[in-house]
Amino acid sequence: MTVCRKLYRVLPALALTAVSFAPQLSAQAPAPPAPVAKPALPPRTAADAITPTIKDPNRHAEFLYRLTEGDVGLLFLGDSITDFWPRRGEYSWLKFAPYNPADFGVSGDRTEHLLWRITNGELEGIHPKVTVIMIGTNNIGQLGTEDPAWAAAGVKKIVDTVQQKLPQTKILLLAVFPRDLAGSKRRADIAAINAILSKFDNGTSIRYLDIGGVFLDSTGEIPKDVMPDKLHPTAKGYDLWFNAMQPLLVQMMK
């Protein structure tokens, strides 16, 4: 009983002591760090789209390893739209198997990123009969200050670089695919880019192909079952791409 009485006397005192320290502990807790604002990107210039810029060295290393696994008969260069084909459109991608294809597309790439990759080893030691190029949508999609003519100049430098490093390859230059809503600024910018790209077709070593219409409905919009985000194709979208490109590709692969 004596021990119990002592505990009854001590416990209230301990409780009061804890309460007396609580405000001090609260006052001493450090304040959360203030959010750090991301530095604003400098405005784009005409030089940016044609200046090689490193972006994804890990993917670059993957492609360099692919070069050690054997020659490439059909090469694809581009951004996420090309990058996702073997996974999202596996059935249509497998149809390229007789051509020994390689997909060197990287999600998020702009023209300057692809330029860096192909000037740093990705075209070395291979002999593709055809190189398919489709790049440029991220130049105007990521950067609101990009002039369509700058993006087109970036594509032209890519074409020139491929011709220089792979003089035996034929280039199938695809028009930038439609994106967003009909009548949007991005749709208009893509049309402006493609109007310039169409002039690069020389009838022999460079062929330009615009298949954008196959992704649109009768109102000019992009159906959800073709591109749910109005940018990246579904398996159906990749089937449409394959079927629309295949006739010209077969001719060029001969």
Q: What is the 3-state secondary structure (H, E, C) of 97-110?
A: HHHCEEEEECCCCC
Q: For tokens 């739209």, what's the residue?
A: 81
pLDDT in tens, 105-147: 999 999 999 999 999 999 999 999 999 999 999 999 997 789 9
Mean pLDDT of 143-156: 93
CB atoms within 10 A of CB 88: 17
Q: For tokens 């999202």, what's the residue?
A: 88
Token pair listed for 92: 């249509």
Token pair listed for 106: 């990287």
Between 41-55, 64-78, 93-107, the lowest mean confidence (pLDDT) is in 41-55
SS3 of the chain: helix, strand, coil, percent, to 5: 50, 10, 40
Q: What is the pLDDT of residue 17?
A: 45
pLDDT value at 234 more than 80? yes
What predicted TM-score, i.e. pTM, was given to this entire model? Answer: 0.85
Contacting residues for 252 by C-beta, under 8 A, at least 6 apart: 129, 130, 170, 172, 207
Q: What is the pLDDT of residue 144?
A: 76
* Range 48-253 has CATH code 3.40.50.1110: yes
pLDDT in tens, 3-53: 444 444 544 444 444 444 444 444 455 666 766 666 666 788 999 999 999
Token pair listed for 29: 């807790």
Q: What is the pLDDT of residue 179?
A: 97
